[in-house]
Chains A and B, each alone.
Chain A
Amino acid sequence: MRISINMAKPSKGASPALSHTSSSKAKAIVKKPNDYTSEGVVDNDVFLLPGTDYQIMGVLTLVAAVIRLFRIYQPSSVVFDEVHFGGFASKYIKGKFFMDVHPPLAKLLLTLAGYLAGFDGNFDFKDIGKDYLEPKVPYVAMRMLPATCGIMLAPVMFLTLKALGCRTMTATLGTSLIIFENGLLTQARLILLDSPLMIATAFTGLAFISFSNQHEQGPSKAFDPSWWFWLAMTGLGLGATVSIKWVGLFTIAWVGSVTLLQLWVLLGDVKTVTPRLFTKHLFARAFCLIVVPVAFYMAMFGIHFACLVNPGDGDGFMSSEFQATLNSKSMQDVPVDVAFGSKVSIRHHNTQGGYLHSHNLMYPMGSKQQQITLYPHKDENNAWRLENITQPLDANGQAINGSLAWDTISPPSYIMDGDTVKLYHTSTNRRLHSHDVRPPVTEADWQNEVSAYGYDGFEGDANDYFRVEIVKKMSDGEDAKDRVRTIQTKFKLVHVMTGCVLFSHKVKLPEWASEQQEVTCAKGGTLPNSIWYIEQNEHPQLGANAEKVNYRNPGFLGKFWELQQVMWRTNAGLVESHAWDSRPPSWPILARGINFWGKDHRQIYLIGNPVVWWSSTLAVAIFVIFKGFAVLRWQRGFKDYENPVFKRFDYEIGTSVLGWAFHYFPFYLMQRQLFLHHYFPALYFAVISLCQLYDHVTARIPGIGLRERPIIGRVGAVVFLAISVFAFTLYAPLAYGNPWTQSACNKVKILNGWDWDCNTFHTEYSQYSTKSIDPNQNVYKTSSPLLPSNAAAPPQAPAQKPLAEHISEVSAAVVSEKPLAPGHSIVSREEKVEYRDQDGNLLEPEQVMSLEGKVSFKTRYETRTRLVDAQGNEIAQPEDAGVAPPHPDVEGADPETLGVKDGGKGEPVVQKDVKADQSKEEKIGGADKEAKPASEGNEATA
């Protein structure tokens, strides 16, 4: 064992060249260190490269620029997720608040590019294929930002490989592979986030690899300017990456785990690293790798909030406190005390559905009484007067009648915890009412319908009584825990007769209620969804000097944190399947791409360069197999790891493969829709691994003869590069949206999963020459690129009828409806919910009562599905006989599918109206082949 006490560090200038020139010199450098210096490491500082390297890098950057910028104006219409990211630029310029699952950095930069080029935000990027030229959108300028990022990827890759100690030849090869990667090219030419993400990830990689190189050279380099520079750059890079997409978290995980390893090695160096020095190392890293990225990330949101000052379509996702910080959504101070006779608006606490609302429309089913909904906008129909259950007495002891009776009572009597109130809807003169009828949409047995009931002058019945129960732990302030105070007090409204609690959840009513949110009365609903508070409040006895209150300003941190949570929830909710999604196992083998755009017999389809893709995957696989054998041999006591070349091979490539793994495997855990472009960061690391493998085999590993004959390596690189470029040209028309022929297209379609449509192309190139001058020519409508996703759709403002109409209809309602006795349930028999246990046995109501709370009931559809199939005849719905007569079919027809009731014997029934079928069939041919953006306004990654 050679142990050199003298820590001879390699001379700076000569290091990269020296290490490759001859084996004897390489051995001379390799000395076994006795501190935390890694054996066999030389200084690869990229600032000290020879001039020729910089020249080569410059040339490669130029090549990249040519490749990326070629016909960047093409296509001149909206492509794929430009729908979203272009749209966000418009919203930034207009200052309209929106919600997106991605952090803001890249979107802000895109906006900046558009803004500088004079974009005024008056283009909505609504559909794929929508023309840019006519409305004069500076889309080329906006595309220049991703393109610049894409171009910069080339020199960054070059420097990264040099920082890893690769030869210039290898670095050139790796850079060229990145330049001629069709997928990266496609992403870099469009207004998308992936190109900025890639450059940020790549820059972080460069910085961290350079830092690691400095660190591994041992104590002599620690805390040098170069060491500090690269550490700080790593932190900045991490901040930038995670501020573009949350995939940056994977980069953080990679840097973090390698840093922990480095710290562990540091800790083991008892000779040179004192506890004090170790602490210094620890804090330097904590500051640069935790504090800096977090500060950067939060600063981006600071800018985000500074830009978005107006209400927009993202409001519905945010809390009332948050919304109150937006212009024109903020409200005047409101009197804090609530008394009988107060005219209030009542807001739901947990969902952003809005205010307790009623309007002069009836439920089409159930009790057929007036609807109660949640409505997100301020409106006179949100106004309720809080009445006591007994009328107040005047000076003579006589009851004052009418709902305005409390206006004159002085001092006003506050509503205390436990008081029972009636809620009088001021614009329709009806009162909030509940009874034992199933709600219109949620047909759960434990929920009752809530309606508005009565008429002007009707004194109400006991089903109008609601008891106020203050939720003390959520109410703000001592007074607010005792009596109802505006905004501060959070309370439940318990229906006195049935014991159910006024409740709302994210369930929309159908068309007949303008898709407003359903309100029910629930027995045992979740607490957050049962909580209400008063937002608007007025009372004649509370003058101008009354104590006022307003929403608490959440402050930057409050807004920041709330937005993070909403982004996380929305992201996790993007589970709907998409026509072009793919799962992680298909990525490394490039099994499927994404259709981005198709128009004028041209197409843009995201597909990688198969040569680059497959060879990089192969490199990773080779390393994993190598590692497996190495570990087995190590456990069997072989001394492979005493060889510095072996050790460096294992560690250096291992670090890159770890980066690949961190950017790839977490996607397996995600349920949300995923796309091929999520693989790009992992691909970048895989390409680095490939280059390192190539460099080791051709220039570093002794004994196989390649290191001694560099010409073989060079020829190999050139050949491989040539193949890659050739493959690139084959698929380039799909990246650029260039003319192509059907035959050329079909020829290169190797895998079944590559589902671009060759039939859209012309058969001859000459057919293209006359076309594509007029951008509006031949535009056909793409089939609804905007797929509304449930998770993402904010509560829309439905059309609200003008107030006058409601009032005019009130009298009619009085005539048509007669009040019923208190507690009377109006249509108790109209439907009956059956309860069955998992075996399909019908449960008695008492049993159900006893089970309540212990088990969760599934919806009746699912339950029925389970029990019906047991014997088929068990579902005969005996109790419902009075309502729906039993079906004549022996086996009992499916009550939910109104099939033809007789027949089933003899020949099939011939239907006459099949003409419609035929016309429908003709219309839909190939409708599915259109490009679609990743998702509604919330295309997201991590």
Chain B
Amino acid sequence: MATMKGAVASGADYAETARRRNVPSTSLNGALVDRVELDEEKTQIKKKQQSLLESLDEWEFIIAPLIFTILAFFTRLYKIGLSPIVTWDEAHFGKFGSHYLKREFYFDVHPPLGKMLVGLSGYLGGYNGSFEFKSGEKYPEELNYTVMRAFNAFFGAVCIPMAYYTAREMNFKRPAVWFVTLMVLCENSYTTISRFILLDSMLLCFTFTTVLCWARFHRLQNQSFSAEWFIWLALTGISIGCVTSVKWVGFFVTALVGLYTAEDLWRKFSDYKMPKVELATHVVSRVLGLIILPVLIYMLSFALHFAILENSGPGDAQMSSLFQANLRGTEVGKDSPLEIAYGSRATIKNMGYGGGLLHSHIQTYPDGSGQQQITCYHHKDANNEWWFYPNRNQPEYDAEAPIKYVADGDIIRFVHSQTGRNLHSHDVGAPITKSMKEVSCYGNTTVGDEKDHWKIEVVKDVVSRDRSKIRTLTTAFRIKHQILGCYLRAGNVNLPQWGFKQIEVTCDLANNPKDVYTHWNVEAHWNDKLPGADAGAYKSPFLQDFIHLNVAMMTSNNALVPDPDKQDDLASQWWQWPILNVGLRMCGWDDSIVKYFLLGNPLVYWGSTASLGVIAVMVAWYLVRWQRGYDDLKQADIDQIEFAGIYPVIGWFLHYMPFVAMARVTYVHHYYPALYFAILNFGFVVDWMLRGQKKKIQYASYGVLYATTIGLYIFFMPISWGMVGNNRQYDYLKWFTNWRVTDA
């Protein structure tokens, strides 16, 4: 173990040393180099001189990845512009990229980094953001989509050298390192998905960098606090920040690193010889590198997002009214007087995610009290307007009297502008959420009782500490019913058809000041006697917008549930992915269209899935043997199994299981990050099995694996590079009926 670690400590050439120790014969390596490269028909290095072989061997860690990278760029970029139409989700991500170029605020369930990069690629290609990216439409002349695709393909291509170095860091032997790299290179699904304007190549790329940095960081564990150690720690943190800023799937690889770190610290904790200060430094440096740094990067991506998108756009409504007021070209907050007075007319917006405006209409509740409905609704109309009136114990509102502002703690009435009824609640269960109270509209200016009385409780005001006034947009307040002591609340529950599927409004008996669904603010405000506010009065703090947007993303992500009645031929289920049961048509299947089919390399899929079973059996076998008192493994072996075998399995699990539990609609490409971990595990299993075997067996096994991987890749190449013409020509690719490569 010690010598091993010593070798590790020497940095970049440790693998060289380690490999030499493990594989004494250099000629063997040389021969293997040759084999592979011949297979790939790339170079013709002759094995003539021993010295050449030696130098090749010595520089393998540069030559081999270089060749792989060249191949990667070739396979990812070849004929990338063949299909001139908007393909698959390019419709979404291309459009989001356009929003950055037009700087219009939009809303999407994914974090912004990947889409900003798409926007950047468009900028580099000289695109002005005017194209709408309608699915299946032909790209216009002025849009250089090849550049945009190539930009994406770049992320896909650099995965290959990273896979190579990751495999090296995992202490695989050279042929296994090549095998892993080859599997990533010759993976049809990775190739195909990297060739379009999508987020997946970026997600994969940053997943790969995270794994690489983490593996490298692990190998440096005996040089804690060295400069290199810190660099790789920071790089891991940066990778985590990037991967989570592309898609939330990145949290799963983050969880993997988190688990590793927890285990690492737990082990260090058991080392009671380690000074406590050193232990604390370990903890602090990891907190800084793996938590603070990624969070900062994640937030930075949102800060950029907000900074770039300064115009009003289609996503405004997902944000708070205050945020909207700060967008250029919006109506919100325009000309509204700042402070609310008695006799003001206003719309009142719920501050929870997706919160609508407090609304009433003449339709009544079908059960409960049978009084007029109160709902929350996003559509802006006159039914959202409410008068702020004094309560029944106070003198009637006098329009001529001097202006009196509504203050924190005031007890007032809300009068619905269109029907003249009062906002009212009583001891009746709400229509859907039975544990809360119903809110209705009741009476008129004269008829009514104290159940019309509501108390304004200011929660906070983002611009002022003065609570004697309620301000448009900036003041968040709760509305408390005087008799029941409950709070006006609009959750995410929709009423049935009788309530037009609008949001249910209830009165919540629980006094939870942190519940944003009980927070309200004034959005539009009319009062003839008050002057309009100047625009500077409305400022929105970044942190609040950041949190609001993230909650909104989470909520709508969960809302992406499929229509249960609709047959979705593109969607697939989790169990279909590891066994390569289905593919995905990325575009129309007409003869005139260049067709792309998302399907993996069968050997890589089936082999990697099988390897998961193999490692499970293997670990169980060693465990049982260990419990029975056999010492089969040295500590170094155990570490190798844990780091290079079990951690990839955990990574696979983390990336796969959430999709099993998820109710939302899922597609094959959701498996791709998990596939990488399965590939690493496949590499480990092959490496472990063949390590101690005779050379001949090794030659034969690796030869077969290499040849099959490459052969299948080339066999299925048309689905990645585009199938031209009648789909019947490609009948030979349709091994199973679910592989809908052809219509037959």
> Which residues of A are in contact with B by a Cβ distance under 8 Å?
264, 267-268, 270, 442, 444, 446-447, 503, 505, 522, 524-527, 529, 576-581, 632, 635-637, 787, 837-841, 843-844, 847, 850-851, 853-854, 856-859, 861-862, 864-872, 875, 889, 891-894, 896-900, 903-904, 908-911, 914, 917-918, 920-921, 924-929
Contact = CB atoms under 8 A, between A and B. Distances in A.
B565 to A, nearest CB: 5
A525 B570 contact: no
B317 A908 contact: no
Most buried by A among B381, B385, B426, B588: B381
Contacts of B628: 267-268, 270
A324 B249 CA distance: 49
Is the contact region of chain B dominated by helix, strand, or loop, or is it mixed? Answer: loop
B564 A526 contact: yes
A898 B362 contact: yes
A579 B88 contact: no
Contact of B418 (A503, A525, A900): A900
A894 to B, nearest CB: 5
Question: How many residues of B sit at the interface, in one of the four size bands?
Answer: 35 or more
Contacts of B433: 577
Given A840-B314, A856-B568, A894-B359, 8 more contacts: A446-B566, A577-B433, A839-B314, A892-B379, A893-B383, A897-B377, A914-B442, A921-B442
Contact of A891 (B136, B361, B381, B445): B381
A516 B176 CA distance: 64
Interface stretch (B122-130, B231-239, B265-273): B265-273
A857 B443 contact: no
A851 B369 contact: no
B381 A581 contact: no
B563 interface: yes
Contacts of A637: 270, 272
Contacts of A893: 381-383
Q: Which of B272, B371, B435, B442 has the most CB of A within 10 A?
A: B435
Given A579-B429, A908-B387, A910-B444, A526 B501 contact: no
Given A872-B331, A891-B380, A853 B569 contact: yes
B209 to A, nearest CB: 30
Contact of B379 (A839, A843, A894, A914): A894
Contact of A850 (B135, B387, B624): B135
Given A525-B567, A914-B443, A918-B447, A865 B379 contact: yes
Nearest to A908: B420
A918 to B, nearest CB: 7
25 contacts: A270-B628, A270-B629, A505-B564, A505-B565, A525-B565, A526-B566, A580-B435, A635-B266, A636-B270, A637-B270, A839-B95, A839-B314, A841-B314, A854-B570, A861-B500, A866-B378, A868-B380, A870-B315, A903-B382, A909-B419, A910-B445, A914-B442, A917-B442, A917-B443, A928-B428
Contacts of A529: 565
Interface in B506-537: none
A931 to B, nearest CB: 13
Contacts of A892: 379-381
Nearest to A892: B381
A897 B382 contact: no
A856 B562 contact: yes
Given A524-B567, A579-B434, A898 B380 contact: no
B132 A898 contact: no
Contacts of A267: 624, 627-628
Contact of A853 (B132, B272, B432, B570): B570
A854 B135 CA distance: 10
Contacts of B361: 894, 897-899
A928 B429 contact: yes
A636 B269 contact: yes
A527 B567 contact: yes
B112 interface: no
Interface of B: 88, 91, 95, 106-108, 132, 134-137, 266, 269-270, 272, 312-317, 331, 356, 359, 361-363, 368-371, 377-383, 385, 387, 415-421, 426-429, 432-435, 437, 442-447, 449, 451, 494, 500-502, 562-570, 588, 624, 627-629, 665
Contacts of B445: 908, 910
Residue of B95, B272, B418 with highest tally of chain A CB at under 10 A:
B418
Contact of B501 (A576, A577, A861, A872): A861
Contact of A909 (B378, B420, B446): B420
A896 B362 CA distance: 11
A866 B317 contact: yes
Contacts of B356: 865, 869
Contact of A577 (B314, B434, B494, B563): B434
A858 B664 CA distance: 13
Contacts of A843: 134
Contacts, number: 226
A847 B379 CA distance: 25
Contacts of B563: 444, 856-858
A904 B417 contact: yes
Given A579-B429, A635-B270, A861-B501, A908 B565 contact: no
Given A896-B500, A910-B420, A872 B380 contact: yes
Contacts of B565: 442, 444, 447, 503, 505, 522, 525-526, 529
A175 B628 CA distance: 42
B383 A921 contact: no
The 9 closest A-B pairs by CB, nearest first: A869-B378, A839-B314, A897-B361, A869-B317, A872-B380, A908-B420, A861-B501, A904-B382, A850-B136
Contacts of A917: 371, 421, 442-443, 447
B420 A911 contact: yes
B427 A927 contact: yes
A546 B415 CA distance: 76
Contact of A839 (B107, B269, B369): B107
Contacts of A839: 95, 106-107, 313-315
Contacts of A853: 567-570
Contacts of A787: 434
Contacts of A911: 419-421, 444
B417 A920 contact: no
B446 to A, nearest CB: 8
A892 B379 CA distance: 9
A794 B713 CA distance: 53
Contacts of B435: 577-581
Nearest to B432: A577
A868 B427 CA distance: 34
Contacts of A929: 427
A579 B95 CA distance: 46
Contacts of A869: 316-317, 356, 378-380
A903 B363 contact: no
Nearest to A578: B434
A850 B416 CA distance: 45
A440 B370 CA distance: 26
B420 to A, nearest CB: 4
A524 B564 CA distance: 11
A917 B269 CA distance: 69
Contacts of A442: 565
A846 B362 CA distance: 39
Contacts of A270: 628-629
A444 B566 CA distance: 10
Contacts of A524: 566-567
B658 to A, nearest CB: 14
A899 B272 contact: no
A926 B484 CA distance: 12
Contacts of A581: 435
B419 A862 contact: no
A264 B627 CA distance: 8
A439 to B, nearest CB: 11
Nearest to B330: A871
A792 B656 CA distance: 33
B681 to A, nearest CB: 25
B88 A854 contact: yes
